[in-house]
Amino acid sequence: MSEFEKEHIPQAEITALSRSQYFELSKHTSLQYVMYTILTIAIVAFLHIMIAMPLMDMFFTKFMHADVASSGEILEYRIAEGAPKDEVITNLFTNWGIIERMAGAENEMGRKRMARYLFNPTLALLPLVLFIGFGLSTYFVAFLPKSIGLLRQKIQREIMNMLDTISIALYGEHTDEEIMHLRNRVMEADIRDLHDLAKEYKITVDEVKNLQGALLWQEATSPFEIFMRTQVALQFYMRSYFSIQYANAILGMVYMGAAVLIIIIGIRGLKFIPSSEPSIILFALSLEFILLIVYAVMLIFSPKEDDREQLHSSNDGAGIFSILGGNPQDTGARNAEVESLLKIFMTQPPDSKKK
């Protein structure tokens, strides 16, 4: 079938994907990855230059009542009290000099100004800016057409997967017409019908609601409607695929972030990192903060444990989540491990932190 024919076939035939097309949706093009990468870099650069760095400059000037030198000035700097003076050259992206305002009088007398702190805005703000940039770019690629939208194709793949799984449970070997009938029933269902469909399909009500939202997003025609429904489609993808497939990877990153934080805080406690250069400390703190936020978001969009256990026991492992590889007992164990790790940090005596 030519590309022209694909663009002009009816919408009902486009959405009536067969199981063979599921494997086609699993194959992504280089253009999709390139578009996602370029969009992420552009958004991250915009956020860092236009928003993050001006906000940090405002924080130092307004709240710390200090001046920020970042335009190539030569400053005097002591790494610690009593240490000899060094000269540092400031720049916009990696080396800010934070100067106490009372040092301005010395500058009028022809002396170099003294930097109280050296701050690397790119290093300190990197985890936060990357997190927001990836989030925004992910939202936008779900809105773009499938030919260049990486996540849009992934969401459509999972819609097809869930429809096909339900159809197998209902009909066994099924046709595209039966899948279309299933689609129409879900899209046209009201709240009472959704509960009936959940019982019939042996899935949870939340799964049916998310599937309905994803189908309405897929059927939307106007750009505004697609953009507004993208959040529901992303929620469907998170619940049906991402939170199940990447739970171990995200939990591993949380532990790695905690390890990085412990090492850096320990090195700082040994005075190997001077207090006048806090960028690496802020990097470690923001890294662990962002990783915990990502893990919390994944838990928010994960299937409810009670519902998953009920389906697992009632369907003898034949439910949607068991087919996709979910294991509620493993997830519960992981949650307990994270809670134990956080309790260690929260209950650690203050004196032990100073050592």
Highest mean pLDDT among 37-46, 95-104, 193-202: 37-46
174, 168 Cβ separation under 8 angstroms: yes
pLDDT digits (tens, 9 = 90+) for 273-321: 888 899 999 999 999 999 999 999 888 888 766 555 554 444 444 443 3
Task: State yes or no: pLDDT of 267 exceeds 80.
Answer: yes
pLDDT value for 131:
95
pLDDT value for 320:
39
Chain mean pLDDT for the chain: 80
pLDDT digits (tens, 9 = 90+) for 122-156: 999 999 999 999 999 999 998 888 889 899 999 98
Please state, in angstroms and rounded to a whole number, the distance separating the CA atoms of residues 46 and 260: 28
Q: Where are the alpha helices (DSSP H) in 238-278?
A: 243-245, 247-269
pLDDT digits (tens, 9 = 90+) for 27-64: 888 999 999 999 999 999 999 999 999 999 999 999 88
List the one residue out of 298, 289, 301, 294 whose CA is nearest residue 342.
Answer: 289
pLDDT value for 321:
39
276, 100 Cβ separation under 8 angstroms: no
For residue 76, which phi and psi values (nearest 5 degrees)?
Answer: -85, 145
Report, as an integer, the average pLDDT of 257-266: 92
pLDDT value for 4:
37
pLDDT band at 177 (very low <50, low <70, confident <90, very high): confident
Please state, in angstroms and rounded to a whole number, the distance separating the CA atoms of residues 56 and 26: 42
Q: What is the pTM of this model?
A: 0.74
pLDDT value for 108:
54
Report, as an integer, the average pLDDT of 228-254: 90
Task: State yes or no: pLDDT of 268 exceeds 90.
Answer: no
311, 319 Cβ separation under 8 angstroms: yes
Give percent above pLDDT 90 in the chain: 38
pLDDT band at 271 (very low <50, low <70, confident <90, very high): confident
Please state, in angstroms and rounded to a whole number, the distance separating the CA atoms of residues 249 and 295: 10
75: left (phi over 0), alpha (psi -120 to 50) or beta: beta
Task: State yes or no: pLDDT of 213 exceeds 70.
Answer: yes
